[in-house]
Amino acid sequence: MLLRSPYSEALICVVDDELSALDLMRTILAEAGYQQVVTARSVREAVQALQTARPDLVLLDWHLSDADSGEVIRTLRRLYPDEVIPIIVLTADPSPTVKHEALRAGASDFLHKPFDITEVLLRMQNLLEIRRLHMTRTRELELARLETLERLARAAEFRDDTTGHHIIRVGRLSEQIGRVLGLDEEQLFQLRHAAPLHDVGKIGIPDAILRKPGALTRDEWRLMQQHTEIGARILEGCPYPVLEMARQIALTHHERWDGRGYPQGLRGNEIPLWGRIVAVADAYDAMTSPRPYRPALSHEQAVEIIYAERGYHFDPVVVDAFLDPATFSQLKEASEPSVT
């Protein structure tokens, strides 16, 4: 009975040019409970596999026939520079030089063939635990920084919305639109937390413009438009994916599908998907919320306006997801307090 792994959902990539070795390792991993195993028989196949899906751990034979095995390690580190993805090198070559080369290239561990199966599984388990701990710590740091920026966004929002609830509603609606569009759970997590930062740049706009009850002059409007670039500058340089998404949203949520938006005049799919989603969510919530210069519109009125702008102001596919009955039914369920 092999040691059962507590990381059965981990994606394991096995690279070896001997088919018998691949089959053996695939069998061992299956019996140990690993449910996601991809294999490659060359450096070229391995690079393609790494580009297709991010693995949680790589088992790599050091002497591949087609090219330098170190290229697999270098590709992995280049594709996922901020990730801790362990690589165990397996080889029948007992030379210390080979071991030194593998470790110098970035291997996490090194084992000689023939190897003890239990030892391999234990080393895999330990390295996957290190990866889990790193991911947990990274997420905690990411959320801590995000919370700081969300508070900054609320400070800006309170100057324009006395409740500060607009950014929360935009985050929730963006998430539900993304869910209908089929985004995965990690993307939805990022979108839910990134979307509320869309107007963080308003912190740099004077109150006289932000709270003006009447129409803005041409110069005032130009100054108001700068909040997109101010927000992007506030958020730039952060290594966390959710904050990079927030930067893109801050910069592009006022772009238009027809290219007549600002600040860059992007059109169509030139606009990041996140910006296109938040453009709809932000417009809907802005229209259904009272402003100093107008009362709130009804849900029906706002929906009618957004539909009329389908293919002009807004991405048609995003509008269709927004209009899907599941969007607001899921939004209502998410807003209802749970009964315990």
Kindly report, residue by residue over 287-312, the tens digit of the pLDDT. 998 876 678 999 999 999 999 999 99
Backbone angles phi, psi at 112, to 5 degrees: -95, 145
If residue 50 lies in a helix (H) or strand (E), which one and from where to where? helix 43-52
Is 90 exceeded by the pLDDT of residue 275?
A: yes
Angle between helices 241-252 and 227-235 (to 10 degrees): 170
Structural contact between residues 178 and 187, judged by C-beta atoms closer than 8 angstroms: yes
**SS3 letters across 192-231:** HHHHHHCCHHHHHCCHHHHCCCCCCCHHHHHHHHCHHHHH
* pLDDT value at residue 144: 81
Q: Which residues contact 39 (CB under 8 A, 6 or more apart)?
A: 13, 14, 15, 16, 22, 25, 26
CB-based contact 40:46 (threshold 8 Å): yes
C-alpha–C-alpha distance, residues 5 and 32, integer Å = 6
At residue 215, the pLDDT reads: 85
Residues 263, 229: contact at Cβ < 8 Å?
A: yes
What does pLDDT average to over the chain?
A: 88
Q: Where are the domains of the chain?
A: 11-131, 159-335
Highest mean pLDDT: which of 5-9, 83-87, 155-159, 162-166? 83-87
pLDDT at 340: 32
Q: pLDDT tens digit string along 129-141? A: 999 998 888 878 8
Look at 1-15, 175-189, 257-271, 293-307 and tell me which has the smallest mean pLDDT.
Answer: 1-15
pLDDT-based confidence at 158, cuts 50/70/90?
A: low
Report CA-CA distances (Å) from 105 to 20, 65, 110, 316.
26, 18, 12, 47
What is the edge-to-edge ordering of all strands in the sheet holding 87-91?
36-40, 11-15, 57-61, 87-91, 109-112
Residue 332 — very low, low, confident or very high, per pLDDT cuts 50/70/90?
Answer: low
Same fold, 11-131 and 159-335: no
Determine which of 79-93, 131-145, 177-191 has the lowest per-residue pLDDT on average.
Answer: 131-145
Q: What is the CATH number of domain 11-131?
A: 3.40.50.2300
Q: In the prediction, which pLDDT does 214 show?
A: 81
Flag whether pLDDT at 95 surpasses 50.
yes
Q: What is the pLDDT of residues 231-249, one digit of tens each?
A: 999 999 877 888 899 999 9
Superfamily (CATH) of domain 159-335 = Hypothetical protein af1432 (1.10.3210.10)
- When pLDDT is cut at 50, 70 and 90, the band that residue 153 belongs to is confident
Instruction: Report how far residue 322's alpha carbon sits from residue 248's, in angstroms, rounded to the nearest whole number.
Output: 20
Residue 224: is its pLDDT beyond 50? yes
What are the pLDDT digits (tens) for 100-120?
888 888 889 988 888 889 999
Does the pLDDT of residue 57 top 80, yes or no?
yes
User: What is this structure's pTM?
Assistant: 0.68
- Token pair of 125 as six digits: 């388990």
Q: Is the pLDDT reported for residue 150 higher than 90? A: no
Confidence of residue 160 (pLDDT cuts 50, 70, 90): low
Give the DSSP H or E segment for 282.
helix 273-287
Coil/strand/helix, residue 34: coil
